[in-house]
């Protein structure tokens, strides 16, 4: 156990909220920094101990603007953890409301990662700017879209009506973010209150509809189709469509929705590579997704621009279960393919009994 006055022990006392013990030991302490350069004020703010925060500030005159190794201040800690009483105290003592930690995150941004409207209101009422962006180009509204609390989004829109007009440095909008993270209520609000362009693309060419599909959020995908005129055949920067991205992530229900409900051709090819969804699933080693695609009529013999079948890609990735399943599923050219693949795989043997031998026998 650390001796009395040791910084680690002091931090533990603060963490546990033991004010009386802290008052007894603090006078003999030599230095106050804890892990990552935290001061005792950081610890008190992070754990929500207002009495200790007050004591350290008023009895010991500790600096409420002290920074740790990540340039976090006590206000960052209190805001990120949703400790409203500590936030109010620090703001009342004159803490800088838009101070920056590493990556240019403000206390308001950190508060927006949690569903704590009261803390966000306190910060804004003390002058926090919702339009500031961090190093990735996200403002507070963008961050709140990831948490998905519609009340917080409505509040930010009420105090800063243009806050929705934002993109990250890779051109992702709050609608992309809410769709990716399955925040249905947030998506409903964004479609109602904001004017995002249908099928807006980030730098990779991904639309909010693609984000919803590749993450398996079919309810959001349906909403984007009905309320935002999303295009189901939009292509990303590599020519892949939503069906292909769903195959990459193994979203079988999304694949069924696209093919069975929306009539997407199960064998549609990515524009630049001619890869089908089956190719993508095999490349990632998704046996269940391969089964789903075949049950929907996917052509097991489809070739890409390099004349490769799904079996080639399964073998190249050394996905044994996929390779075995495809070999058993009626390949017309399996004899020619297996000869070529056996040679390739023998060169990449992963044990004395090579992957090629195991796959082909």
Dihedral of the alpha carbons of 136, 139, 143, 148, in degrees to the nearest 10: -140
Q: What is the pLDDT of residue 21?
A: 87
Residue 226, exposed/middle/buried by CB under 10 A (0-12, 13-18, 19+)? exposed
Residue 192, exposed/middle/buried by CB under 10 A (0-12, 13-18, 19+)? exposed
How would you label 4-42 residue by residue, b for 16+ Cβ within 10 Å and e otherwise? Answer: eebbebbbbbbbeeebebbeebbeebeebbbeeebbbbb
Q: Within the chain, what is the greatest distance between any pair of CA atoms?
A: 83
Q: What angle do CA 156, 162, 167 make, to 5 degrees?
A: 95
Supply the DSSP string of 269-303, one letter for each residue.
--TTT---HHHHHHHHT-HHHHHHHHHTT--TT--
Which residues 6+ apart lie within 8 Å of 38 measured at CB?
11, 46, 68
Angle between helical axes of 117-125 and 150-159 (0-180°, round to 10): 10
- Residues 295, 326 contacting (CB under 8 angstroms): no
Q: Which of 137, 138, 140 is nearest to 128 (CA)?
A: 140
**CA gap 35, 43 in Å, rounded:** 10
Q: What is the pLDDT of residue 195?
A: 96
Supply the DSSP string of 106-164, one letter for each residue.
-HHHHHTTTT-HHHHHHHHHTT--TT---TTS--HHHHHHHHT-HHHHHHHHHH-TTTT
Distances (CA, A) of 32 to 1, 70, 95, 284: 17, 17, 20, 50
Query: Which stretch of DSSP H or E encloses residue 252?
Result: helix 252-256
Per-residue pLDDT of the chain (361 residues; tens, 9 = 90+): 455 557 778 888 998 999 998 888 887 554 566 778 899 999 999 999 999 999 999 999 999 999 999 999 999 999 999 999 999 999 999 999 999 999 999 999 999 999 999 999 999 999 999 999 999 999 999 999 999 999 999 999 999 999 999 999 999 999 999 999 999 999 999 999 999 999 999 999 999 999 999 999 999 999 999 999 999 999 999 999 999 999 999 999 999 999 999 999 999 999 999 999 999 999 999 999 999 999 999 999 999 999 999 999 999 999 999 999 999 987 765 555 555 555 555 455 444 335 544 554 4
HSE, side-chain direction, 13 A CA sphere, residue 124: 20
Q: What is the pLDDT of residue 351?
A: 43
Residue whose tokens read 């097991």:
300
Query: Which domains are present in the chain?
Result: 1-99+118-127 (1.25.40.20)
- Residues 140, 163 contacting (CB under 8 angstroms): yes
């Amino acid at each position: 156990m650390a001796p009395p006055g040791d910084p680690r022990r002091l931090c533990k006392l603060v963490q546990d909220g033991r004010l009386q013990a802290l008052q007894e030991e603090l006078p003999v302490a030599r230095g106050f920094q804890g892990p990552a350069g935290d001061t005792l004020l950081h610890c008190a703010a992070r754990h929500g101990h207002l009495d200790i925060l007050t004591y350290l500030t008023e009895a010991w005159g500790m600096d409420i603007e002290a920074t740790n190794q990540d340039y976090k201040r006590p206000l960052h800690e209190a805001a990120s953890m949703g400790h409203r009483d500590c936030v109010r105290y620090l703001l009342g003592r004159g803490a800088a409301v838009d101070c920056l930690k590493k990556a240019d995150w403000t206390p308001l941004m950190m508060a927006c990662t949690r569903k704590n409207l009261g803390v966000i209101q306190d910060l804004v009422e003390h002058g926090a700017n919702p339009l500031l962006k961090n190093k990735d180009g996200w403002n507070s509204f963008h961050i709140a879209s990831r948490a998905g609390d519609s009340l917080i989004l409505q509040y930010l829109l009420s105090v800063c009506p243009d806050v929705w007009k934002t993109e990250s440095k890779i051109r992702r909008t709050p609608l992309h973010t809410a769709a990716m993270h399955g925040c249905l209520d947030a998506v409903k609000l964004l479609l109602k209150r904001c004017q995002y362009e249908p099928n807006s693309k980030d730098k990779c060419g991904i639309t909010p509809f693609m984000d919803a599909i590749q993450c398996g959020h079919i309810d959001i995908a349906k909403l984007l189709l009905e309320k935002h005129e999303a295009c189901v055949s939009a292509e990303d920067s590599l020519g892949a469509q939503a069906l292909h991205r769903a195959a990459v992530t193994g979203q079988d229900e999304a694949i069924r929705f696209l093919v069975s409900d929306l009539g997407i051709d199960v064998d549609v090819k990515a524009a630049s590579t001619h890869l089908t969804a089956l190719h993508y699933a095999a490349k990632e080693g998704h046996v269940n997704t391969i089964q789903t695609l075949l049950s929907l009529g996917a052509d097991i013999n489809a070739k890409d621009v390099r004349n490769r079948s799904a079996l080639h890609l399964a073998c190249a990735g050394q996905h044994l279960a996929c390779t075995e399943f495809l070999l058993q599923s009626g390949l017309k050219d399996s004899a020619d393919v297996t000869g070529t693949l056996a040679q390739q795989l023998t060169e990449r043997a992963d044990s004395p009994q090579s992957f090629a031998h195991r796959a082909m026998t």
